[in-house]
Structure 1
Amino acid sequence: MRYILFIFAIINIGIIQAKTNNTDELPIGLTEHEKNNINIIYEMGRETDPPIAPLRNIAEFERMSGVLIRYPLGISLEIVRELAEDIKVYCLVSSSQQNNAISSFENANVNMNNVEFILGSTDSYWIRDYGPWWVVDGSGDVCVVDFTYNRPRPNDNDAPFKVSEYLNAPYYSTDLVHCGGNYMTDGLGTAASSDLVYSENDETDQQINDLMESYYGIDTYHVLPDPNNTYIDHIDCWGKYLSPTKVLIREVPQNHPQYNEIEYVASYFSESLTEWGYPWEVHRVYTPNDQPYTNSLILNEKVLVPIMNSSWDGDAINAYELAMPGYEIIGVTGSWESTDALHCRVKGIPDLDMLQLFHNPLGDTIDSFINEGYMINAVIDDLSKTGIVDGSVKVFWKTEAEFEYDSTDLYLSLVPEEPNTYTGFLPPQLYGSKIKYFIQALDSSGRKEKHPMAGYHSFFALPTDICNSWSLGDVDNSGELNIIDVILLSELIVYGNSSGLCCDFVADINEDGELSIIDIVNLVSMVVNQ
């Protein structure tokens, strides 16, 4: 009887596998049939006029309301479960496979309240390569701006249009042949790809650059030779924008055959300027055996990094933690290859009504501005169009010696040339110190956003000279040492009645960084003996 049940179970498993395996599944590279029919690519375009300018291409590290995958899956059910913890999982699936997808997700304890299915056939699970690109247009609407997928796969090529219809997002398209794995943007008009984009299109390099500006708002397009020397030539196999100021580039030992080429692109980015006019902060992740550590997924406050059960996995996680302090870095396993990992198989869906915060982080050795403090500027715009809540725009800050963040308001600039710009100051520091800070805002739709989205920015603040004219012990800055200074110091110690930064500074008579009875004794002695 047990033997019969065992045979029956095997038959059932075979039936289930037959149902869930797509016999028409295509590889990441071109099949021989596709190579012989490559011209189909150039028949799949559906060019429209560009969106209304000015345009801003949304970056991976911005606020996402969902993530796009495809069934049958290219990722594990454990990863699907992780994704569905926080945001919507939009799953492209054919009608014939939908029930199988539902059963698989439910059996894996995926939060089905966060799963929605977009019906439509696909040819492969490399949804990064053919999935939608997103742009904020001149009207403040988030649009899909499509391209022609660089594989002769009409079903995959149709996916962005299906997503735009499902989400009721405006749809535009250029006939430019491209793919998402060979593209990254900083969200501020800069993007990068390998020169595959130039070789796969008939247009001149300049014409391609012009199309990128017209349809995506990209005015600085870094197009480089692929340093990996593989069949795929995708930039996500060796590089990744982590923020508008940080880029991650793979690193290999000197005896690696591609060492010189990889160091060239790392040097190229270190010598290139961000949108703010400063050199990129280049971070490296060690990939001695061509591990796909740059092929990660940034998803709001989390970063999912493909790991290989390698001795270098821990170093890769540490590299992300160093580059993105405060983010939750999660290592995930899968059927990864050096040219194909997590980033290739998942794609973020932005919050279509996101609260946008743009800020150029302060650099080290910043001087206090006319003794007012360290100037903070942020551009804040709510795509929900409900308005920024009055008094909600703040900068939270602390020194390394402090445990709790203090906050300071940022105020809307009245200068016509600075729309949506909020300005304020971090308080001046008497001593050189490292300051950690983040900016926060709230709009009337209930959205609260931070910059950075997780963690903090940090910089070394140079000391201010604002208190140089004050004399030690002269707590009221009257020019005299007397009993009033003793009384003020006593109240300062007992009640914390500070009259400002310089008051605290000159009250620390023994300059030990603390106010105590010893300072009172020393001040009384100074008053008596003057």
Structure 2
Amino acid sequence: MLKFLIISLVILSGVFLPLIAQTTPSELIVEGRWVNPPSHDPGIPSEIYHKNMPAVEYQDATVPPQPPVRMCAEWEPAVSVLIRYPLGLPWDLVEDLAQDVHVTCLVSSSNYSSAQSQFTSHGISPSQVDFVITNTDTYWTRDYGPWFVFDGQDAMGISDHVYNRTYRVDDDQSNWYLAPDLGVELWKTDLRHTGGNFMCDGHGVGMSSDDVYNYSFNSTITQDSVNNLMNAYWGIYTYHAFPDPLGSYIDHIDCYAKFLNEEKIVVITNGVDDYNLNQVANQISGLTSCFGGNYQVVRLHCPDNHDAAYVNCLIINSFVYLPLTGYYDEDTAAIHFYERELPGYIVKGYQDYSFEPTDAIHCRTKAIYDPGMLYVDVNPHVDTADLKVKALVHDYNGMGVKTDSVFLVWRFSGDSLFTNYELMDQISGFPDSFQAYLPLPVSEETLSVDYYVFAADNSGRHSTDPYTAPGGYYNVDYEVMGIEEGTEHIVPPERIAIFQQNDKLVFRSSAGLHNIEKISIMDITGRIRSEINRHLLATGGNIIVLDLDRLDLTSGIYLITVRSDQNNYTDKINIIR
């Protein structure tokens, strides 16, 4: 409780405001936490706040990043989480962030010693946290913190907005101190914005509540001009804005919706604003995603009467950090929701007295992305014409993709392990583009395939899409696609599909396997492990099946060459026994 609360009221412009005498930080902060945290929004008419706040001297806008510009999606590879001290987060969450990812903490020079002491006392080592010395007004790093983009030269930097809470001068200026600490460039736009009212898919599609067009400065130019500035500074070429369905004081989209991936968006229900929320959900489901299909909208119940903020979670690397309410059944349902919708992610839950439906973990954290990330991007819509999977694999570190280490990894649905590694071909003329083919069904049990793409580069990084593979993966249902067992015409005739099915090694070709002379199997050391000559092969159809036990192959990667009287076909496969 504040020690110096003065009961008297002053009438200012017809509004009654409580006066609070000066209070030192030590009286407001206990063990690094605000004991009486401020509201996310002051709840005071903005014109009154503006009258009583000092004038803001903003840094001049800079030229935008060199195009093409790409803004990072929330789920892309990150190296740290940005928070602020004094904290607005429970210590058990901060400890996990430091252990699971890394923490970058904004702190003033006057609080630096206290921050060091508190982090150490909670078991966080100096190697797990970086402190950036700068003044801040609040702990909402989501709102004023960095928006990371890659420019046309593959350089990651901060493309900074003017924080729409213009009276929070130190918050708005903090990125000018953060950028040099991270060693990245900062570009500045005149646009007013706030991170809690923005989400994007990493492909140039952004979404907000439509209050963005009412922010100061933004309201003085046309909506097209606002959108054009977003395109220039953030690479956002498609921008969707929705009426705030909650009718709340804050109008932030992260209070009711969230991208889970490029095609899936969660929209909450809360038992109070469901009519408006359903309107937004229906509107989103009718929009086209970056991959050409409509968005899949999934719903998550966040009971208003229990202050649930389940959508205001942080997704980073392979973790979901979820605010909980203490109501067991509802919390458990929310955890199961994210485990179901984001397979492979580890979901961790946290309670805190300061969490509200409009202000929880997402509002108070911000990812710092890997400037040298290996970016793997798969369009999950497989064409029935050829079952081809295409992937963009780009090394932002500039050290080069290992073209012999880009694999389409798959299994027939129902198999416990991914046992098939198809080396993806680099597409001629497009050095970042790779392709490979999924297998045709060979029986009624093989009418569905799970897959992901794995890649490695010369920096030592490796990555997958989906990010949490093999826990997360894409699926192709051949029956839904109209492909049946025995379908032949969709596979290029020069291709031979080679894959493991239980204890068998299967070869399949739509052109037939009539002219096979020899099959050679070589391990990664270059030693020939097995050679099967024509007279031992049951050729004549479209399938050859070999017994792995008779081939005496153990687990490992093998190079298989199929020699015919016309040409040779070579592929890699990963055998798992």
Q: Provide the TM-score with structure 1 as the length reference.
A: 0.82
How far apart in 2 are the matches of 1:93 and 1:349? Answer: 17
**1-structure distance, mates of 2:546, 2:197:** 64
Of residues 225-234 and 389-398 in structure 1, the stretch that sits farther from structure 2 once superposed is 389-398
Following superposition of structure 1 onto structure 2, how do residues 324-403 of structure 1 map, counting pairs within 5 Å? 324-334=342-352, 335-362=354-381, 367=384, 369=386, 374-403=387-416
What is the CA-CA distance between 1:224 and the residue it aligns to? Answer: 0.7
Q: Which has the higher contact order (CA 8 A, sep 6+)?
A: 1
**Alpha-carbon distance between aligned partners in 2 of 1:186 and 1:476, rounded to the nearest angstrom:** 44
Structure 2 CA distance for aligned equivalents of residues 268 and 231 of structure 1:
22
Higher mean Cα deviation, 31-40 or 112-121? 31-40
Amino acid in the other structure paired with 2:450: K
Partner of 2:437: 425
1:301-316 → structure 2 map (5 Å cutoff): 301-310=318-327, 311-316=329-334
Distance 1:22 1:249, change over 3 A: closer
Instruction: Output the CA distance in 2 between the equivalents of 1:383 and 1:491.
Output: 42
CA contact (8 A) 1:387 1:443 kept: yes
Pairwise CA distance, 1:404 = 2.0
Residue 495 (1) aligns with residue 550 (2): yes
Shift of 1:459: 2.3
Which structure: greater strand fraction?
A: 2
Gapped regions of structure 2 (runs ≥ 5): 1-25, 490-511, 516-534, 554-559, 562-577
User: Would you tell me which structure has more helix in proportion to its own residues?
Assistant: 1
Query: Partner amino acid for 1:395?
Result: L
Mapping of residues 9-408 of structure 1, within 5 Å: 17=29, 20=32, 27-30=39-42, 32=44, 35-38=47-50, 43-44=57-58, 46-151=60-165, 152-200=167-215, 201=218, 202-252=220-270, 256-289=271-304, 291-310=308-327, 311-334=329-352, 335-362=354-381, 367=384, 369=386, 374-405=387-418, 406-408=420-422
Contact 1:305 1:331 in 2 (8 A): yes
Aligned to 2:388, the other structure's residue is in SS state strand
Residue deviations 1:97-121 (CA, integer Å, cap 9, x gap): 1111111111111243111100011
Give the distance between the partners of 1:424 and 1:445, measured in 2 at CA.
Answer: 24
Q: Secondary structure at the match of 1:320?
A: helix
Query: Pick from 476, 486, 490: which aligns with 1:459?
Result: 476
The offset of 1:142, in angstroms, is: 0.4
**Amino acid in structure 1 at the alignment position of 2:436:** G
Consecutive unaligned residues in structure 1, runs of 5 or more: 1-13, 469-474, 501-530
Secondary structure of residue in 1 paired with 2:86: coil
Deviations along 1:134-162, one digit per CA (max 9) or x if unpaired, are 11101110010001111111100011221
Inter-partner Cα distance in structure 1 for 2:39 and 2:476: 46
**Does structure 2 retain, via aligned residues, the 8 Å contact 1:41–1:148?**
no
Map of 1:507 onto structure 2: none
C-alpha deviations, 1:277-325, integer Å up to 9, x for none?
Answer: 1111212111132511110101101111111112311111111112111
- Single out whichever of 173-182 and 396-405 deviates more from structure 2: 396-405
Deviates more, 1:288-297 or 1:206-215: 288-297
2: CA distance, partners of 1:216 / 1:84: 29
Going from structure 1 to structure 2, the CA distance change for 1:137 and 1:107 (only over 3 Å counts) comes to: same
Comparing 238-247 and 103-112, the one that deviates more: 103-112
1:31 to 1:59, Cα distance in 2 relative to 1, 3 A: same
**d(CA) in 1 for partners of 2:300, 2:28:** 40
> Where does residue 498 of structure 2 map in the other structure?
none
- Please give the alpha-carbon distance, in whole angstroms, between the structure 1 residues aligned to 2:466 and 2:336: 19
- Please state how far the C-alpha of 1:362 moved relative to its aligned partner: 3.3
The percentage of counterpart residues that share the same residue type is: 32
> SS of the residue aligned with 1:232?
coil
For 1:259 and 1:215, the matched residues in 2 are separated by 35
Distance 2:436 2:545 in 1: 32
Whether contact under 8 Å (1:92, 1:119) holds in the other structure is yes
Distance change >3 Å, CA 31–CA 251, structure 1 → 2: closer
Would the alpha carbon gap of residues 84 and 267 (structure 1) be closer, same or farther in structure 2, given more than 3 Å must change? same
CA root-mean-square deviation: 3.0
| Deviation (angstroms), 1:87 | 2.3
- TM normalised by structure 2 equals 0.75
Residue correspondences, number: 468
Distance 1:144 1:73, change over 3 A: same
